[in-house]
Amino acid sequence: MQNNITRRFMMAATASVALFATTATSALAEGWAPQKPVEMVIMAGQGGGADRLARMFQAIIQKEGLSRMPMLPVNMGGGSGAEALRYLKDKEGDAHTIMATLNSYYTTPLRTDIGVNIEEFTPIARMAEDTFLLWVSADSGITSLDDYVAKVKTSGKDWKMGGTGTGQEDSLLTAMIEKTFGLEMTYVPFQGGGDVAKNLVGNHIDSTVNNPSEQMGFFRAGKSIPLVAFTPERLVQFPDVPTARELGHDLVYVMQRSFVAPPGMPAEAVAYYTEMFRQLSELPEWQKYTQDESLEPAFLTGNELQAYFLEEREKHRAILAGMEDGSS
Amino acid sequence: MEMFSLLADGFATSLSPLNIMIVLIGVTVGLFIGAMPGLGSVNGVAIVLPLTFIVPPSSAIILLAAIYYGAMYGGAISSILLGIPGASTAVATTFDGRPMAQQGKAGLALIAAAVASFVGGTISVVLFTLFAAPLADLALAFGPAEEFALVLMAFTTFVGLGGDDKLKTVIMICLGLVLSTVGLDLISGQPRLIFGDMPGFYSGVSFLVLAIGVYGIGEVLYTIETSKTAPTVTAAKITWKELGYGIREMNKLWRSMSIGSFLGFFVGMLPAAGATPASLMAYGIARQTSKRPDSFGKGNIEGVAAPETANNAASTGSLLPMLTLGIPGSPTTALLLGGMVMWGLVPGPMLFIEQPDFVWGLISSLYTANFAAVLINIALIPLFVWALRMPFTVLCSIVIVLCIVGGFAPSQKMHDVWMIAGFGVAGYLLRKADYPLAPLVLALVLGPLMEKSFRQTLIAEQGNVLAFIERPLSGTFIAIALLFFALPLIKMLRKNGRRAVAPAE
């Protein structure tokens, strides 16, 4: 009897907690929910675009009560994300780990032998596509793409392009720029986009291809100048910056900002996180953020997302192959 | 002066009843989180972050900063009492804090740690208030070459550490450097030294795992051996009189505390460095410039004061690049940064101009948080010391449990627990063979930073090694490093020279 009462009480308590949870989280799918804090692995170092974005997701998720359990961001930027990829692979079947991706999600397994095949990972959701601009420091006196190309041509290998690691998206974009304009620069790797941005303003490097969010603070303080945008259209935040296409060069490159999960994550958990991110993508905070930081919202999930990943991987394989030809 | 009126406005914010309450809660929570091995300010801030959305942004950041501060104070507690570093920032505190506790001076060591933290925190907040803008420019002037030179300087301050046997010190530094190369290559991403294909090694050897192993477990093993009959851990009691004596004693520590404050603030300010290297460097320099360097590592109170001032100063320092440049100087400030982005604040050069209320409210709250932390900490010292009166058999089991939990908690990998056990046995054997452990730990902290900055510079300068001395800032650091390196050599030569000359006469 005693036991029965306890049990009933427990059931009532669970029900009311569940009720509370549902009211708080509007309409998250019933059923499976995380039982412990969810680890949010970030494939990059602190302060870069990926890091800021992931931490903002974490903050929104907690503020809006989209998850009953907190999200704990963990930076694993080592080796162009290899550390994170390997970590996720070893978490096979785990329901409490998700990972925020960059394009190094494709390139790192192609370049290094870490035993990771991204086909095995579980796709959750693509939140946005991030954009790139070419930046120089305000002290450089360079104001246009033509100036830039002329200056780099005379400097040759002394020209330092900063980035987040060989094989990272900025190094691919750098290779594409070099090819298009017939330039040769020295590519210097740093540990995150924030570090790159700081080193540009401190004049330790001469140019970068940062995401808008990484340079926004310096840009608004007048310390860095965007020369050209590698997007199909001009960016709302930078109406005066021409696109490469407008200037007659077909250079377009975007970076997906997505979430994936370990191989073999239980289907209920996948459904839970997918729904969580779908709700997040509809929030006004997120929509305002994408506009402020020049992100293109592009929500995609499930099989379509996996197909997109695999298609992009092939594109990157081609770019990487081109880079190797160029350097040898 | 415009700055002072802004600061006064800031105090109007931080001294509101709500914010005072928040500071008290934050500091107390932080103190306990910091005192738990394995849990540091990062965990504290992460856990509390979601709760901050119920209060206005300025109060929220004050809460987070108070936890951050409290944890810096708390880290020293288990370092001193149990010999397990409460957080990676408090590793250097174990070097002398633990011997002091064993000599029955735990109370004094805790007071020294609290007061030193207060001094370090306060001096650095004053520096922050007065020089935030020019110092941000200095942080910008730090490129990879300067980082390398600074780390090199840190190493040279440790050559003399660990007693007279220089060879053993060098061996331990090399061993630490080898450990620091385990895991994925920072630049190319290729795995190194992973023992076949053991996934646990991909993320490298964690510094905290090594420190908990060699200091926590190693220490327990060593104590068990040496105290077969009579437990050496003294049942320390503490009275108000002793408390007063302890605080007066602090007067003698101005030298090590000023080293800690300025160095800590400066190193903390550099992105990528943070409070852990800062506290180790402060310890090294305090020892190197001391008149009695041999007494360090054997319970010298200065060896507690220097790293404790430095880690608090560094935690303030690391707020500077976060606020002015939008680049976090430490893992914890990275979390604070996430919070700020969420509240719609854009960190960067414009923050001071666009959001003065927020910035100055935060700065003024650092003053109040420091004040609250030192009071709460000193009030709780008798309670902490009381814990030492447990019988050794009980205490040593608790220490081992805390070591294992503390090693498992941050990354939740069994791999780390096995590593702790391994390092524990290794630490015990090394200690028996009289090898110094501090250089090992230092090398593991600074090794990755040194390797990265060295390779970045060489890539940027296309292999030109002279780049390190051609740049004024890094050249200066390298010169100082060489001086530190040569100092013991010069001393030795002079001594030998005299000896050699004497018999000839």
What rounded mean pLDDT belongs to chain B? 81
DSSP lists the bridge partners of residue A228 as: A134
Q: How high is the pLDDT of residue B442?
A: 82
B501 within domain boundaries: no
B470 within domain boundaries: no
Q: Say if CB B284 and CB B446 are below 8 A apart.
A: no
* Domain housing B179: 2-457
Closest CB to B50: pick one of A62, A189, A201.
Answer: A62
Cross-chain Cβ contact B350/A87 below 8 Å? no
Q: Which two three-digit tokens encode residue B6?
A: 């802004």
Residues of chain A contacting B184 with CB distance shorter than 8 Å = 78-79, 82-83, 86, 114
Whose tokens are 């791999």? That residue is: B415
Cross-chain Cβ contact B189/A80 below 8 Å? yes
Count the neighbouring beta carbons within 10 Å of the beta carbon of residue A36.
11
A133-225: CATH topology is D-Maltodextrin-Binding Protein; domain 2 (3.40.190)
Closest CB to A60: pick one of B188, B331, B342.
Answer: B342
What rounded mean pLDDT belongs to chain A? 85
B338 within domain boundaries: yes
Q: How high is the pLDDT of residue A246?
A: 93
- Phi–psi pair at A29, nearest 5 degrees: -55, 135
B41 within domain boundaries: yes
Cross-chain Cβ contact B144/A202 below 8 Å? no
Cross-chain Cβ contact A218/B342 below 8 Å? no
B476 within domain boundaries: no
Classify domain A26-130+254-323 at the CATH class level.
alpha beta
B312 within domain boundaries: yes
Mean pLDDT confidence for B226-232:
55
Cross-chain Cβ contact A86/B326 below 8 Å? no
Closest CB to B342: pick one of A47, A59, A82.
Answer: A59
> Percent of chain A, pLDDT > 90?
47
Task: Say how far apart CA B294 and CA B163 lie, in whole Å.
Answer: 6
Residue of B48, B182, B320, B325 to mutate for A, most A C-beta atoms under 10 A: B325
Q: In total, how many domains does chain B have? A: 1
Cross-chain Cβ contact B346/A56 below 8 Å? no
Strand pairing category for A224-229 and A160-163: unpaired
- For residue range A37-61, what is the model confidence (pLDDT) as tens digits? 898 999 887 666 788 788 888 888 8
The least confident of B191-205, B247-261, B488-502 is B488-502
Q: Output helix, strand, coil percentages for chain B, rounded to the nearest 5.
A: 75, 0, 25
- For residue range B292-334, what is the model confidence (pLDDT) as tens digits? 877 888 888 899 999 999 999 998 888 888 888 877 767 777 7
Task: Say how far apart CA A308 and CA A324 lie, in whole Å.
Answer: 24
Q: Where are the domains of chain A?
A: 26-130+254-323, 133-225
Residue B360 has pLDDT above 60, yes or no: yes
Q: How far is CA A269 from CA A72, A259, B246, in A?
A: 17, 13, 56
The CA dihedral of B249, B251, B253, B254, to the nearest 10 degrees, is 170
